Amino acid sequence: MRLTSPFLQSYRFVGRPPVQLERVLAVGRAFLTASALVAIYLDPTEPARLRAITYSVLLAYALYSLVVLAYVHRAARLTPGHGRVLHGLDIAWTSALTVVSEGPVSPFFLFFLFVVVAAAYRGGFRETAGTAVIIAAVFLVETAIAAAGPWNSTWLASSGFELNRTILRVAYLLLTGVLLGYLAEQEKQSRAELAAIADATRQPRVDLGLGGSVTAVARMLLSTFGASAVSVVVDDHDNRRSLLWRFDRSMAAKEQPRARRVDLNADEQSTWLFKDFGHAWRATTNHVPGAGADLRVIDPGVWPLRRLRAELPAGLLSAQPFETVTAVNMGLPGEWHGRIYLFDALQADSPERSLHFLEALTEHVTPALTNVFLLRRLRARAGAAERARVARELHDGAIQALFGIEMKLEAFRRSTDRSPSVVDREIGETQDLIRREVLSLRELMQALRPIELEGTEQLPDVLAGLVERFRRDTGISARFVATGGRLAMAPKKALELVRIVQEALANVRRHSHAMNVLVSLAGDDGACRLVIEDDGCGFEFEGRLSAQELDASRVGPAIIKERARMAGAQLTVESTRGVGARLELAIREESDHG
Please tell me the predicted confidence (pLDDT) of residue 156: 47
Whether 531 shows a pLDDT value over 90: the answer reads yes
Kindly provide the b/e burial profile for residues 102-136, where b requires at least 16 CB atoms within 10 angstroms of the residue's own CB.
bbbbbbbbebbbbbbbbbbbbbbbebbbebbebbb
* Strand-pair category, 570-576 with 580-588: antiparallel
Please tell me the predicted confidence (pLDDT) of residue 585: 92
Per-residue pLDDT tens over the stretch 389-432: 677 767 666 777 777 778 878 787 777 777 888 788 888 888 87
Nearest to 363 by CA among 334, 340, 342: 340
Return the minimum-mean-pLDDT range out of 12-26, 110-124, 126-140, 563-577.
Answer: 12-26
- Beta bridge partners of residue 544, listed in sequence order: 574
Mind giving me the DSSP string for 433-469? Answer: HHHHHHHHHHHHHHHHSPP---SGGGHHHHHHHHHHH
Whether 478 shows a pLDDT value over 90: the answer reads yes
- In single-letter form, the type of residue at position 287 comes to H
Whether 14 shows a pLDDT value over 70: the answer reads no
Taking CB atoms within 8 Å and a gap of at least 24, the contacts of 449-452 are 451/495, 451/498, 451/499
Question: For the CA atoms of the chain, what is the radius of gyration?
Answer: 40
- In the chain, % of residues over pLDDT 90: 17
Whether 590 shows a pLDDT value over 70: the answer reads no
In angstroms, the CA 83 to CA 518 distance is: 72
Nearest to 188 by CA among 128, 139, 143: 128
Mean pLDDT of 372-388: 73
Does residue 580 come out as left (phi exceeding 0), alpha (psi in the -120 to 50 range) or beta? left
pLDDT band with cut points at 50, 70 and 90 for residue 1: very low
If one compares 430 and 157, the residue with the highest pLDDT of the two is 430
Per-residue pLDDT tens over the stretch 290-326: 668 899 999 888 888 999 998 888 888 888 888 899 9
Nearest to 184 by CA among 139, 125, 225, 239: 125
pLDDT band with cut points at 50, 70 and 90 for residue 446: low
Please tell me the predicted confidence (pLDDT) of residue 207: 79
Per-residue pLDDT tens over the stretch 504-513: 998 888 888 8
CA 568 to centroid of chain Cα atoms: 29
Mean pLDDT of 531-535: 94
Nearest to 236 by CA among 216, 263, 203, 257: 263
- In the chain, % of residues over pLDDT 70: 85
- Please give the model's pTM, rounded to 2 decimal places: 0.60
Q: Domain residues of the chain, as ranges?
A: 6-199, 206-376, 451-593
pLDDT band with cut points at 50, 70 and 90 for residue 589: low
If one compares 170 and 441, the residue with the highest pLDDT of the two is 170
If one compares 249 and 11, the residue with the highest pLDDT of the two is 249
If one compares 515 and 380, the residue with the highest pLDDT of the two is 515
CA atoms 159, 165, 167, 171: torsion sign: negative
In angstroms, the CA 271 to CA 316 distance is: 6
Residue 519 neighbours by CB distance under 10 Å: 23
Mean pLDDT of 87-114: 79
Mean pLDDT of 329-341: 90
Strand order in the sheet with 543-546: 477-484, 516-523, 527-534, 580-588, 570-576, 543-546
Cα separation values, 130 from 76, 176, 191, Å: 29, 12, 22
DSSP, collapsed to helix, strand or coil, labels residue 482 as: strand
Nearest to 357 by CA among 476, 214, 195, 168: 195
If one compares 498 and 453, the residue with the highest pLDDT of the two is 498
Whether 73 shows a pLDDT value over 80: the answer reads yes
Please tell me the predicted confidence (pLDDT) of residue 3: 38
Mean pLDDT of 89-118: 80
H or E segment and range at residue 66: helix 51-74
pLDDT band with cut points at 50, 70 and 90 for residue 105: low
Please tell me the predicted confidence (pLDDT) of residue 341: 94
pLDDT band with cut points at 50, 70 and 90 for residue 148: low
Domain 451-593 CATH superfamily: Histidine kinase-like ATPase, C-terminal domain (3.30.565.10)
In angstroms, the CA 543 to CA 547 distance is: 13
If one compares 285 and 272, the residue with the highest pLDDT of the two is 272
Assess contact for 264 and 272: CB atoms under 8 A: yes
If one compares 351 and 71, the residue with the highest pLDDT of the two is 71
- Beta bridge partners of residue 247, listed in sequence order: 230
Residue 410 neighbours by CB distance under 10 Å: 10
How many residues are listed for the chain in this entry?
594
Please tell me the predicted confidence (pLDDT) of residue 261: 86
Whether 245 shows a pLDDT value over 60: the answer reads yes
Mean pLDDT of 485-514: 83
In CATH, 206-376 is 3.40.50.970:
no
If one compares 117 and 166, the residue with the highest pLDDT of the two is 117
Residue 78 neighbours by CB distance under 10 Å: 18
Whether 485 shows a pLDDT value over 90: the answer reads no
Assess contact for 583 and 533: CB atoms under 8 A: yes
